Amino acid sequence: MNVLIFGPNGSGKGTQGAIVQKKYNVTHVESGVIFRDNIKKGTELGKKAKAYIDKGDLVPDDITIPMILNRLKENDCKNGWLLDGFPRNGEQAKALNKALSDAGIKLDFVIEILLDREIAKQRIMGRRICEKDGNHPNHVFIDAIKPAEKDGKQVCRVCGGALSARADDQDENAIKKRHDIYYDEKNGTLASVIFFKELSKKNNGVPVIIELDGTADIKTVSDELMKKLQ
């Protein structure tokens, strides 16, 4: 099974992607993770990409497109993949589609998590990380997972541990930049979503497009997703 997953930062895309990856045992290919690994290892690719990533800009297509297409040719992708973070513009979408058809590889599903931009921003800014356990979700704007209070301070609702927020989650300019790229229907990520929706229409529903309401809670979204992935 070969799948693309789209959703703005703050939509729960990473969480849903991890659920799909586990359930279907496909290889999770995340463009951002590949870039960060290359930067950490100090490779040529990492050096080239770093300046763009640090500014929150997209890495140019002539670096990104071959990197992803080569990654999909590796052995662990033979039994299926879930591609996350790519494509992020119309050119990348076209290049991916061409490479897949040239190689005779079928794209089965395109998942899109829909979420209003203002809600996505609130989601990001309200996230809190439990310093004892990263799997203890806390969110100041979501009642079901609101942090607890101790001595006038917010603490983890599960274990009472200290909470912190990621610096880039509190930077409104960084969030705006990421969302400007995502929600741009002409040159951004939504342009690639539109590309695959049109392809699906022309192609008798292949790939299958799965739209999910990102305002629901994690389990509701994943239940809906599992039903539609059958």
Interface residues with ligand AMP (CB under 6 A)? 31-32, 35, 52-53, 56-59, 64, 85-86, 88, 92
Report phi then psi at 6, rounded to 5. -125, 150
- Give me the residue label for tokens 């912190």: 164
Nearest CB to ligand AMP, comparing residues 59 and 191:
59
Are the CB atoms for 181 and 189 separated by under 8 Å? yes
Please, which residues have CB within 8 angstroms of residue 169's CB and are 6 or more apart in sequence? 124, 125, 127, 175
Nearest CB to ligand AMP, comparing residues 12 and 147:
12
Measure the CA–CA gap between 93 and 70, rounded to whole angstroms: 15
Nearest CB to ligand AMP, comparing residues 57 and 172:
57
Shortest approach of ligand AMP to residue 55 CB, angstroms? 8
Shortest approach of ligand AMP to residue 173 CB, angstroms? 13
Rg, the chain, Cα only: 18
Nearest residue by C-beta to ligand AMP? Answer: 32
Nearest CB to ligand AMP, comparing residues 138 and 189:
189
Measure the CA–CA gap between 76 and 119, rounded to whole angstroms: 36
- Measuring CA to CA, which residue among 206, 168, 202, 199 is closest to residue 9? 168
Nearest CB to ligand AMP, comparing residues 55 and 78:
55
Shortest approach of ligand AMP to residue 230 CB, angstroms? 28
Nearest CB to ligand AMP, comparing residues 63 and 148:
63
Please, which residues have CB within 8 angstroms of residue 221's CB and are 6 or more apart in sequence? 12, 16, 113, 212, 213, 214
Shortest approach of ligand AMP to residue 5 CB, angstroms? 11
| Residues forming a β-bridge with 154 | 149
Shortest approach of ligand AMP to residue 175 CB, angstroms? 11
First to last CA, the chain: 11
Shortest approach of ligand AMP to residue 86 CB, angstroms? 4
